[in-house]
Structure 1
Amino acid sequence: MEVTNKFRTLPAIDKLLSIVAADPEIRHYPHELLTVCLRQAVADARTRIKHGDGNAGSTDSIIRAAKILLREQAGSSLRRVINATGVVLHTNLGRAPLSKRAQECVTGIMEGYSTLEYAVESGQRGSRYAHVVEPICHLTGAEDALVVNNNAAAVLLVLSALARGREVIVSRGELVEIGGSFRVPDVLRQSGATLVEVGTTNKTHLADYEQAIGPNTAAILKVHTSNYCIIGFTSQPEGTELAALAHKHNLPVIEDLGSGTLLPLTAGGQTEPAVKERLQLGFDVLTFSGDKLLGAGQAGIIAGKRPYIELMKKQPLLRAVRIDKLSLAALEGTFKDYIIGSPGQDVPVLAMLNADKPVLEQRADRLKELIVNLNAGFATEVVQLNSPAGGGALPAAVLNGYGVTVTHKNLRTEELESRLRQRTIPIVTRIREDKVIFDVRCLLERDLPDIANALGAL
């Protein structure tokens, strides 16, 4: 009976609307949106009353709740976060952060019209791919190139153009699964090609490939295991051997490099093959991501021999998976970092992967100092940390660095982590041994005072 009486005291929507009509904080919102948020706030109050919250249901509390809902509507769900996890290519946090040059390229294109498919010299229609083909060929030694919206699309386009209705030979040890349960066999089926598995999980010999070649074979596909490692009693043919075998039978040899890098890269004790090196071994077509070790936005890059690339350009599928202008601008800007800049410093992913331990320790000391100066009762300690590269890249790499642990006597660790995560600019951390950990590897200079201010506000 008491709950029913509390339900009856809930204010009517018309009354709430008349009250907020003079509120300068929210009266500028559209009437329809304001009504929706007030109704939601009343419904939430009704639920809290039902579950025994005796303080729910007042007019002031409902209006406060409606204001929060309105701010959420006005804000952006996709927003900047501070990555204090130490994971450089954090898939959930957008993978590679863009360089300053790439950001400038994207901003310039956002502000108006562009030469996306316009040839200034002739005044005629141009190709969107022309903006990046030359840089790709320059950096990789490829004869020609294409870009699409991601690497899965790149592999799909390659197989659709070169192997639809025919067989593609793949080692069993390379039938990888990437994020979202998306598997290489699935891509093959979607392309219209038939998968022919050879070898075993840990060992595939050149003879296995040769025995599988038949009249219906269209290509040999090698998949770089960029998101896992098989170690121990293992064997795979050298790239030169595989290329020689394919060419002996007039077949193309394709490699999906996954998180391919443009430069020879060693990080955390693991070495990643560069695109140029793989092409020099004799591979005809390579595909790789733009937003991983390369350090640009999301893209799938196809580089290789011109006759095969020409076949892909004629595929109707190309239009369905084509890259958009903002991703293209980010890619072009990143290529400029490699060609005219200092990629090890200018491309954030490369700088973060190869950050020196003394630099990271100094950054951790600076963050601790800022937190201690708050005099807000936080217990802090600079500690050594290990973190993965992330993003399905360098799976065996162990990145040694530093971070700062934080606890507070009046806040549970989970509560502290949650509050930081739910800020307007979320701060994403780790928890270890009942302490919140700020790994400084991926933190920018501006992030340090932001973290201290966020802790102070708690």
Structure 2
Amino acid sequence: MIDSTSLDPTALAQPADLPAVDRLLSEPAFALWVQQHGRQLITQQLRKLLQQLRAQALAGKLARSELNVVQLAARFEKQLQQYLQPQLRPMINLTGTVLHTNLGRALLPDEAVQAVLTALTTPANLEFDVRTGKRGDRDDLVEALICELTGAEAATVVNNNAAAVLLMLSTMAAEREVVVSRGELVEIGGAFRIPDIMQRAGARLIEVGTTNRTHAHDYEQAICEQTAMLMKVHCSNYAVVGFTKEVNLAELVQIGRRHGVPTTVDLGSGTLVDLSQWGLPKEPTVKETIAAGADVVTFSGDKLLGGPQAGLIVGRKDLIQSIKKNPLKRALRVGKLTLAALEPVLALYRSPEHLAQRLTTLRLLTRPAVQMQEQAKALQPLLQQALGSDYTVAAEPMLSQIGSGAMPIDVLPSYGLVVRYVGAGRAGGPIMRVEKWLRGQQRPVIGRIQHDTLFLDLRCLSAAEQAILQAQWSTALA
């Protein structure tokens, strides 16, 4: 092992100067890592490090002083930490989007977290009927609760709403026609489109009306012997305004009943309560949709409902039973962790007067801007000091959004930090540098950039996360 204290620190190392793997493994620091992680893993990572050092030496870019055991151990520790770091990491969401698809959508309340932990560590009656001692149906764990909250006759759960729509169409409309307004042929995230899902389900799409206007007679004229259903898609991720016309659900249901054709609704986001009671925009609830006569309704579990990723299908008992018998149901079913999280979230809706405090999603959506303002004032001097005089950091009001395709044109009054570049040259590069610095911290911080300005919206910032930011922002921007 080279003792760099006795050598010229500027002298270059040669490949022959590199220590052997076995020699390094005998060093106390490396022996401790072997004890913690096993000899095979540490040996593998050591060889990787030595390959990097050899390449540097051959390129004449490795100082002999870097082969000191202390420096080698420090470099190896950093490499090991990066290697062992999980790919799914906690983030700090300062984008201002509460239900951020790329950041995992709804955050679960404590009741759901504890239920998942229990399901992870103990056997559970996933498909066991404790009362009869026979095999049970996993849907039974939540079906009665879903029906209680929605007014539906029956319910089933799959892994997301796209799967719910696919399963519904595959069961009810395979090789038959589905009539949909042209203005409701939405594309959801990841380029998944309603027409594509219909095609995969084996259904034939019949478009009626125009992009901005669809009338009752458009549906009437499209119905024939091959019509399997009339389908309404709630346009939760965009809005058509101006000279518009749509057929409301109650009227569409009447058209379907006159012709003996079921009416289905893809609610997308889906909410179980009237959000306007908390000052939020009005959205159609699942219960209202069922009460209006919809035969089958699909909606998401991890958006406005505030639960885990899931697709819920509710409606007429005979139709839900047919859907559950479809072989695709097994491929699309949810596991015990989803059901463990979903049940306590649904149970919170039984006490609506406490919902805004207990349901994490609703609490974030209804959070007073004054709370965010106080956080912004506390964090502003720390970030300003970290960024230096080339930047200004201001605590300012801003606008949040709900996210995940819910209420796209509605915004929520919020507060946060605004970072602007005031140094020489254009602002684009320096602002991107700050964004990268925040993203590269131990707990990555994600904001949004608009017009060469970085916005850090504090709507979703918890007290614990604020403490993390205070610690992370004590280090200056390099």
TM-score, length of structure 2 as denominator length? 0.86
Give the match for residue 351 of structure 2: 340
Give the match for residue 41 of structure 2: 33
Distance 1:261 1:42, change over 3 A: same
The CA deviation at 1:23 is 2.7
Give the match for residue 224 of structure 1: 234
Distance 1:399 1:52, change over 3 A: farther
Give the match for residue 318 of structure 1: 329
Secondary structure of 1:402's aligned partner: strand
Give the match for residue 157 of structure 1: 167
Q: 2:154 aligns with which of 144, 152, 167?
A: 144
Q: 2:376 aligns with which of 364, 381, 386?
A: 364
Residues 127-156 of structure 1 show CA distances to partners (whole Å, capped at 9, x for unaligned) of: 111111111111111111011110011001
Aligned residues: 454
Confirm whether residue 399 of structure 1 aligns to residue 412 of structure 2: yes
Confirm whether residue 417 of structure 1 aligns to residue 430 of structure 2: no
Give the match for residue 462 of structure 2: 444
Asked which structure has the greater CA Rg, the reply is 2
Provide the C-alpha distance between the structure 1 equivalents of 2:263 and 2:100, rounded to a whole number of angstroms.
31
Where in structure 2 are the equivalents of 1:169-208 lying within 5 Å?
Answer: 169-208=179-218
Give the match for residue 67 of structure 2: 59
Provide the C-alpha distance between the structure 2 equivalents of 1:254 and 1:199, rounded to a whole number of angstroms.
18
The CA deviation at 1:67 is 2.4
Q: Which range moved further: 22-31 or 70-79?
A: 22-31
Q: Which range moved further: 255-264 or 428-437?
A: 428-437
Secondary structure of 1:244's aligned partner: helix
Secondary structure of 2:410's aligned partner: coil
Letter in 2 for 1:108: T
The CA deviation at 1:47 is 5.8
The CA deviation at 1:427 is 2.2
Provide the C-alpha distance between the structure 1 equivalents of 2:351 and 2:250, rounded to a whole number of angstroms.
31
Distance 1:406 1:48, change over 3 A: farther
Provide the C-alpha distance between the structure 1 equivalents of 2:14 and 2:237, rounded to a whole number of angstroms.
55
Q: 2:113 aligns with which of 74, 78, 103?
A: 103
The CA deviation at 1:209 is 1.1
Provide the C-alpha distance between the structure 1 equivalents of 2:212 and 2:251, rounded to a whole number of angstroms.
18
The CA deviation at 1:354 is 2.0
Residues 184-236 of structure 1 show CA distances to partners (whole Å, capped at 9, x for unaligned) of: 11111111111111111111111111111111111111111111111111111
CA RMSD of aligned residues (A): 3.0
TM-score, length of structure 1 as denominator length? 0.90
Q: 1:130 aligns with which of 140, 160, 166?
A: 140
Identity across aligned pairs (percent)?
Answer: 40
Letter in 2 for 1:11: L
Distance 1:51 1:132, change over 3 A: farther
Q: 1:279 aligns with which of 290, 298, 310?
A: 290
Q: Which range moved further: 448-457 or 283-292?
A: 448-457
The CA deviation at 1:446 is 1.4
Distance 1:269 1:141, change over 3 A: closer
Distance 1:276 1:372, change over 3 A: same
Distance 1:59 1:434, change over 3 A: farther
